[in-house]
């Protein structure tokens, strides 16, 4: 176990670079913090003009990091060169509430809104990381409390009301907005703390007040449930890259589960404040956990 102290407080999101070298943390503070885990180097804050960088993703194809900040700034960072660039949207748009980077790294879809207007915007990504807006459409059916992701089939996956005004996990074609798939209803999203799609896109795991669920994305299949334990608040949720393990954190412990049975296969104790986020590195041999100790602490566990 290694503790990676860093300058960003209240880390709520963690992301590993595709090569497993870089670990990035962000939350409600300024910028994001990045560590070279391979070199065991101290964390550095980048993108200091941004505030509230909870919407961030690495491109698995190019290795670039893209971050949509809550103050309307969008940045990208090239780990190879260290170059970071900033782009500010129209001042009329005051909030980002979704970002998805395609598997090819050539497309990014963003949800942005201002009072009375919510838009889904598509961008093409040039070889040097430059973004060009290619399409835009109004869409107020996605739940604003949760982002969306690209499903392996190329559609957007998330929680929305495109089907019948009821909150469901849905698949939507990005540019047209056409509904492609609709699944069982979910509770109101103020009760859904977090959800994550499995690497192969066949299941979704989510945490609500009453339980942790694993829902197959197939007709007439009920979700597995792991009931909540009184007094133990679950935070953080992640699939291992091979899809064989789910991790979540509670108290000062990270618990690893078999997603087929929800039985615990391993527990990791760290004793550094309340956990907020969990993330596996690309080969699944390390897990990072962010703490709520007020110092931006992130811990890395070796799972071998």
Long-range contacts, 45-50 (Cβ 8 Å, 24+): 45/6, 45/7, 45/8, 46/77, 46/84, 47/73, 47/75, 47/77, 47/84, 47/86, 49/73, 49/75, 49/86, 50/75, 50/86
Q: For the chain, how many structural domains are there in total?
A: 1
DSSP-assigned beta bridge partners for residue 85: 76
For 276, residues 6+ apart whose C-beta sits below 8 A from its C-beta are 10, 11, 12, 27, 235, 236, 249, 290, 291, 292
| Structural domain of 49 | 15-234
Residue 155 lies in a domain: yes
Mean pLDDT of 144-166: 91
State residue 215's pLDDT score: 92
Structure tokens at 297: 């602490």
List C-alpha distances in Å: 201 to 9, 209, 249.
32, 24, 23
Q: What share of the chain in percent tops pLDDT 90?
A: 54
Structure tokens at 72: 């309307």
State residue 91's pLDDT score: 59
Burial of 281 (0-12, 13-18, 19+ CB in 10 A): buried
Average pLDDT, the chain: 88
Residue 262 lies in a domain: no
Greatest extent of the chain over all pairs of C-alpha atoms, in Å: 51
Residue 199 lies in a domain: yes
Q: Where residue 252 falls among pLDDT bands split at 50, 70, 90?
A: confident
DSSP-assigned beta bridge partners for residue 266: 256
Question: Are 157 and 149 a contacting pair, CB within 8 Å?
Answer: yes
Structure tokens at 23: 């670990």
Q: Where residue 144 falls among pLDDT bands split at 50, 70, 90?
A: confident
Residue 281 lies in a domain: no
Residue 288 lies in a domain: no
| φ/ψ of residue 123, rounded to 5 | -130, 145
d(CA 54, CA 22): 17
- CATH value at residue 82: 2.130.10.10
Question: Are 204 and 215 a contacting pair, CB within 8 Å?
Answer: yes
State residue 84's pLDDT score: 93
Q: Where residue 32 falls among pLDDT bands split at 50, 70, 90?
A: very high
Residue 187 lies in a domain: yes
Mean pLDDT of 75-101: 83
Residue 96 lies in a domain: yes
Residue 35 lies in a domain: yes
Of residues 40, 45, 62, 221, the one with CA closest to residue 129 = 62
Residue 282 has pLDDT above 90, yes or no: yes
Mean pLDDT of 83-100: 78
Q: What is the DSSP letter of 69?
A: -
Mean pLDDT of 86-96: 68
State residue 125's pLDDT score: 93
d(CA 36, CA 56): 18
Q: Is the pTM of this model over 0.75?
A: yes
Mean pLDDT of 98-112: 93
Pairwise pLDDT comparison (187 vs 228), residue with the higher score: 228
């Amino acid at each position: 176990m290694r503790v990676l102290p860093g300058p960003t407080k209240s880390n709520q999101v963690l992301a590993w670079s595709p090569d497993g070298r870089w670990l990035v943390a962000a939350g409600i503070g300024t910028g994001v913090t990045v560590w070279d885990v391979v070199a065991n180097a101290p964390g550095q804050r980048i993108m200091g003009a941004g505030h509230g960088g909870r919407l961030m993703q690495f491109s698995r194809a190019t290795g670039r990091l893209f971050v949509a900040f809550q103050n309307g700034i969008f940045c990208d960072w090239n780990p190879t060169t260290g170059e970071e660039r900033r782009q500010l949207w129209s001042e009329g748009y005051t909030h980002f509430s979704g970002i998805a980077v395609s598997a090819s790294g050539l497309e990014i879809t963003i949800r942005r809104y201002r009072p009375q207007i919510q838009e889904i915007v598509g961008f093409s990504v040039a070889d040097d990381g430059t973004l060009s807006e290619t399409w835009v459409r109004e869409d107020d059916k996605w739940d604003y409390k949760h982002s969306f992701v690209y499903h392996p089939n190329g559609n957007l996956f998330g929680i929305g009301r495109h089907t019948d005004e009821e909150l469901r996990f849905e698949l939507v074609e990005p540019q047209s907005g056409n509904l492609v798939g609709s699944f069982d209803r979910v509770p109101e999203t103020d009760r859904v703390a977090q959800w994550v799609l499995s690497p192969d896109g066949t299941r979704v795991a989510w945490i609500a007040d009453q339980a942790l669920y694993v829902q197959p994305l197939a007709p007439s299949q009920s979700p597995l449930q792991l009931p909540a334990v009184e007094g133990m608040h679950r935070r953080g949720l992640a699939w291992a890259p091979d899809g064989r393990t789910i991790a979540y954190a509670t108290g000062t412990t990270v618990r690893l589960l078999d997603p087929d049975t929800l039985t615990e296969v391993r527990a990791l104790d760290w004793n550094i404040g309340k956990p907020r986020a969990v993330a596996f590195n690309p080969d699944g041999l390390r897990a990072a956990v962010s703490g709520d100790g007020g110092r931006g602490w992130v811990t890395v566990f070796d799972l071998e």
